Amino acid sequence: MKKNRASKRTRKKGNSLRYLTFGIVILAVAGLGVFFYTNKTFDVSTLLPLLRKIKGEAPVGSFTATLCFGDERGEFLIREQRIITSGQNPVQKAGALLQELLKGPLTKGTRTVPQQTRLRGVSFDNGLLTADFSPDLRQHHPGGSSSEILTVYSIVNTLSLNVPEIKQVVLLVDGKKTDSIAGHIDCRQPISPRPELIH
User: 3-state secondary structure string, 40-91?
Assistant: CCCCHHHHHHHHHHHHCCCCCCEEEEEEEEECCCCCCEEEEEEEEECCCCHH
- CA dihedral of residues 143, 182, 70, 121 (deg, nearest 10): 130
Compute the average pLDDT of residues 155-164.
Answer: 97
- 41-45, 150-154, 173-177 — which is least confidently predicted? 41-45
Q: Does 47 score more than 50 pLDDT?
A: no
Q: How far apart are CA 67 and CA 10, in angstroms?
A: 63
Compute the average pLDDT of residues 102-125.
Answer: 96
Compute the average pLDDT of residues 148-153.
Answer: 98
* Threshold 0.75, pTM exceeds: no
Q: How far is CA 90 from CA 93, 130, 151, in A?
A: 5, 11, 21
pLDDT at 24: 79
Q: Phi and psi dihedrals of 154, rounded to 5?
A: -70, -40
- pLDDT confidence band for 42 (50 / 70 / 90): very low
- pLDDT confidence band for 44 (50 / 70 / 90): very low
